[in-house]
């Protein structure tokens, strides 16, 4: 018997779930037939819609798949069992360690919707730490914590969005105010930053832009979800040296690899491809034509680019 949506529910469409979790629509339908999960409801038009508790479970299933588990092994577990298994598989034991008190205080501000106080605290930390330390030592671990809280259902989607917008305001202001770094006669690489059309998460991209600007690079950000042909056109029109792409754990790894392959073909060597983020495609099946860096490695990568540029200029 097919379940019907009640007015009190605010379920997600199958497209929403694909964007949210990184699990493809086709995979969701296969799991529904093979494992009897997820169990979508039906809207008045007969289309699949998914209650929030099923979406939260799918987030945890996807995280375990990224850690190497097979769907048939984990999909029948409860949400609590999946959370425990995720902690154990991540090396955290049965009970994940409590976050650092400072990070927890930021998370508490998100949960209590004190966004003005959150922005004030972030701005103060930025002034005290400087942009690079702020990104690596505070923003990166805090964003991971926020993502984990959202994936486990401790943080609502709108609360995660409020955090994203608050952090974006603080970091964008800092990027605009950053004076050009003095590197003598060394050239500044022109870096185009964006994500592929299937990737809607932009904080990793923003952190990368901050790190590159701090190293004196000339950054051109297109934001998220840029069509491939537009990335290529922008790269040529802006005469960029590097295209830097961000890939979150939520993006389907196959889509990430296919997009990188097509982009590489269309660029035909006119710009280097750099990538970063937590997606498994960058860890297990990294293509040879893509250089992968974490945030801390960007300074060295830009220095290496400058060294190569100097050799070419001298030759």
Which tens digits make up the pLDDT trace of 258-289? 999 999 999 999 999 999 998 888 887 788 99
The two tokens of residue 18 are 């694909």
Does the pLDDT of residue 7 top 50, yes or no? no
Q: Are 197 and 226 in contact (CB under 8 A)?
A: yes
Q: Which long-range contacts (CB under 8 A, 24 or more apart) does 63-68 make?
A: 63/151, 63/249, 64/89, 66/249, 66/253, 66/279, 66/280
Domain with CATH 1.10.1240 in the chain: 101-177
117-151 as b/e: b if 16+ CB within 10 A: ebbebbeebbeeeebbebbbebbbebbebbbbbbb
Sign of CA dihedral 34, 39, 43, 48: negative
User: In the CATH hierarchy, which fold is given to the domain comprising 12-89?
Assistant: Multidrug-efflux Transporter Regulator; Chain: A; Domain 2 (1.10.1660)
Note the pLDDT of residue 310.
87
> Rounded to the nearest 10 degrees, how much is the dihedral formed by the CA atoms of 286, 292, 296, 298?
180
What percent of the chain is predicted at pLDDT more than 90?
61
Does the pLDDT of residue 9 top 80, yes or no? no
What percent of the chain is predicted at pLDDT more than 70?
91
CA distance 235 to 243: 7
Which tens digits make up the pLDDT trace of 223-239? 999 999 999 999 999 99
Note the pLDDT of residue 8.
43
Q: Are 224 and 201 in contact (CB under 8 A)?
A: yes
Q: Which residue has the higher pLDDT, 258 or 6?
A: 258
Domain with CATH 1.10.1660.10 in the chain: 12-89
User: At 250, is the pLDDT very low, low, confident or very high (cuts 50, 70, 90)?
Assistant: confident
CA distance 249 to 106: 22
Domain 190-314, CATH homologous superfamily name and number: Cobalamin-binding domain (3.40.50.280)
Q: Which residue has the higher pLDDT, 3 or 300?
A: 300
Least confident of 18-27, 113-122, 176-185: 176-185
Highest mean pLDDT among 18-22, 100-104, 210-214, 247-251: 210-214
Which tens digits make up the pLDDT trace of 82-96? 888 877 765 555 555
- CA-nearest of 146, 277, 121 to 199 is 277
Mean pLDDT across the chain: 88
CA distance 113 to 75: 33
User: At 186, is the pLDDT very low, low, confident or very high (cuts 50, 70, 90)?
Assistant: low
Q: Are 51 and 41 in contact (CB under 8 A)?
A: yes
Q: Are 118 and 110 in contact (CB under 8 A)?
A: yes
Q: Which residue has the higher pLDDT, 8 or 290?
A: 290
User: In the CATH hierarchy, which fold is given to the domain comprising 101-177?
Assistant: 1.10.1240
Domain with CATH 3.40.50.280 in the chain: 190-314
Does the pLDDT of residue 65 top 90, yes or no? no
The two tokens of residue 9 are 């529910």
State mean pLDDT over 22-46: 92
* Distances from the Cα of 162 to the Cα of 126, 130, 278, angstroms: 19, 23, 22
Does the pLDDT of residue 306 top 70, yes or no? yes
**Residue 32's CB: how many other CB atoms inside 10 A?**
14
Q: Which residues have C-beta within 8 Å of that of residue 209, sequence separation ≥ 6?
A: 175, 193, 219, 221
Q: Which residues have C-beta within 8 Å of that of residue 11, sequence separation ≥ 6?
A: 5, 40, 41, 43, 49, 50, 51, 52
Give the pTM. 0.78
């Amino acid at each position: 018997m097919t379940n019907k949506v009640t007015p009190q529910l605010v379920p997600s469409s199958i497209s929403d779930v694909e964007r949210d979790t990184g699990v493809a629509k086709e995979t969701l339908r296969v799991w529904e037939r093979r494992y009897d999960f997820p169990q979508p409801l039906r809207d008045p038009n007969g289309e699949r819609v998914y209650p929030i508790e099923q979406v939260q479970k799918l987030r945890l299933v996807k995280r375990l798949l990224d850690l190497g588990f097979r769907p048939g092994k984990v999909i029948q577990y409860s949400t609590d069992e999946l959370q425990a298994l995720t902690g154990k598989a991540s090396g955290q034991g049965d009970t994940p360690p409590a976050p650092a008190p400072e990070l927890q205080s930021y998370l508490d501000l998100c949960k209590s919707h004190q966004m003005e106080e959150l922005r004030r605290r972030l701005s103060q930390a930025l002034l005290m730490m400087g942009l690079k330390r702020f990104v690596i030592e505070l923003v990166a671990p805090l964003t991971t914590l926020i993502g984990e809280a959202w994936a486990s259902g401790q943080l609502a989607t709108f609360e995660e969005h409020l955090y994203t917008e608050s952090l974006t305001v603080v970091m964008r202001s800092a990027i605009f105010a950053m004076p050009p770094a003095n590197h003598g006669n060394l050239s500044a690489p022109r870096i185009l930053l964006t994500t592929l059309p299937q990737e809607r998460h932009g904080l990793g991209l923003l952190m990368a832009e901050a790190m590159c600007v701090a190293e004196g690079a000339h950054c051109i950000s297109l934001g998220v979800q840029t069509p491939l042909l537009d990335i290529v056109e922008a790269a040529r029109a802006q005469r960029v040296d590097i295209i830097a792409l961000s890939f979150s754990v939520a993006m389907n790894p196959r889509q990430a690899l296919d997009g990188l392959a097509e982009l590489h073909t269309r660029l035909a060597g006119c710009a280097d491809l750099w990538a970063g983020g937590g997606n498994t495609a960058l860890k297990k099946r990294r293509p040879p034509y893509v250089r992968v860096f974490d945030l801390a490695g960007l300074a060295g990568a830009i220095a290496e680019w400058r060294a190569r540029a100097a050799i070419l200029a001298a030759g």
